[in-house]
Structure 1
Amino acid sequence: MVTSRRLPNHQALTQLAQEYPELDISSVEACLTFLDTTAEVQQALDAHFARYNLSMGKFTLLIQLFVASDKGLTPSEFAERSGVTRATITGLLDGLEKEDLVKRQPYPQDRRKLTIVLTDKGREFISKMLPDHFCRTTDMMSNLNATEKKTFIELLGKLRNGTSAMRDV
């Protein structure tokens, strides 16, 4: 059994369960293990993106533009796809534009709007980065076989469906 480094271990949870009968030890342990693993994955990704002088946010925008091809995306589309505010997107775009990886241009049907596109430098940068990124992603997931990966995706979907329990009032 994997235990969290920062949060209560099995013995502590067992003691808490004596006082709080609604505490389901296996649910809490699963959640704590998930949180610890998520933190480690996030640290690994931060280190990986730092090699390229990127953050996860900047990478997300670059890959969205790379997939969108030449048509580009509006700041609103980025915000909606990324689940963040337009202000956050503006800050990320400012940094990417300063590095000449993206450029803002007038939206074809409405000059009050902007479209963001990759520059040639940005397209070349992401094209060179992706092979390493995909190899490292494959290596990170290599301890799971194909069936386990499919099950993992299904389990994460179920977990995502339960997140409203933490949000609901």
Structure 2
Amino acid sequence: MPDLNIRDMPTRELFAEYQERYKNINADTALAYLDFEKTSSRAAQMVDRFLESESLTETRFICLMLLYRQVSEPMKPSELAHGAGVKRGTITGVIDGLARSGWVDKVKDEHDGRSVKVSINHAGVTKLERILPRIYQLDNDIMAGISSQDFEAFSKILALINKNLDNME
């Protein structure tokens, strides 16, 4: 459900009506899940708008970050695809776009002349170092007002949700 933007959220009463037809409905679970989806979609949209204002997409940003982490070691496109969670066919276009923007360099693989590796260049590093403080401030603003105990509980809940998702795959 990408970009869930329900303005008229279902009510507990509506779920009570549905329970008469669908016995496995748990109103608390359904309402919490919808709220979680709506909140995460709103946060992702906010980050996407910021990245777009910087001529980036989430995938392009992730690739720059992966390259930035190991600035002295170029990466194979397959490594970038794996790290960014995208298909090999997708990563080619992402790399080409980053290269056109002047943020990465493609170099022949010294061990396999048919292959290339990708590295972040000075312009890419400068770009990231300029926007990272704003990204981290955006993270802080989104999460403002949450206590350290609530963060701990939230992290445990997210870990449990991820475990459940792993078990479903």
TM-score normalised over the length of structure 2: 0.88
Query: Structure 1 residues 60 and 6, CA, compared in 2 at 3 Å: closer, same or farther?
Result: farther
* Residue 148 (structure 1) aligns with: 150
1:97 Cα shift? 0.6
- Contact 1:65–1:72 (CA<8 Å) still a contact in 2? yes
String of CA shifts for 1:75-132, please: whole Å, max 9, x gaps.
1111111221011111111111101101111223332322110111111111111111
- Contact 2:108–2:116 (CA<8 Å) still a contact in 1? yes
> 1: distance between equivalents of 2:166 and 2:15?
23
> 2: distance between equivalents of 1:6 and 1:94?
41
* Residue 73 (structure 2) aligns with: 71
Q: Does residue 1:5 correspond to 2:7, yes or no?
A: yes
String of CA shifts for 1:10-60, please: whole Å, max 9, x gaps.
221111012212111111111111111121011111111122111111111
* Residue 111 (structure 1) aligns with: 113
For 2:70, what is the secondary structure of its paired residue?
A: helix
* Residue 27 (structure 1) aligns with: 29
Query: Structure 1 residues 91 and 7, CA, compared in 2 at 3 Å: closer, same or farther?
Result: farther
> 2: distance between equivalents of 1:23 and 1:126?
45
> 1: distance between equivalents of 2:165 and 2:8?
21
1:72 Cα shift? 2.1
> 2: distance between equivalents of 1:67 and 1:6?
42
- Contact 1:100–1:122 (CA<8 Å) still a contact in 2? yes
- Contact 1:5–1:36 (CA<8 Å) still a contact in 2? no
For 1:116, what is the secondary structure of its paired residue?
A: strand
Aligned with 1:83 (options 60, 82, 85): 85
> 2: distance between equivalents of 1:150 and 1:49?
28
- Contact 2:47–2:138 (CA<8 Å) still a contact in 1? no
Which letter maps to 1:82?
A: A
Which letter maps to 2:143?
A: M
Which letter maps to 1:141?
A: M
> 1: distance between equivalents of 2:74 and 2:149?
36
1:66 Cα shift? 0.7
Q: Which 5+ residue runs of structure 2 have no aligned equivalent?
A: 1-5
* CA RMSD of superposed structures (Å): 1.7
Aligned with 1:95 (options 97, 101, 107): 97
> 2: distance between equivalents of 1:79 and 1:141?
29
TM-score normalised over the length of structure 1: 0.88
> 1: distance between equivalents of 2:111 and 2:90?
25
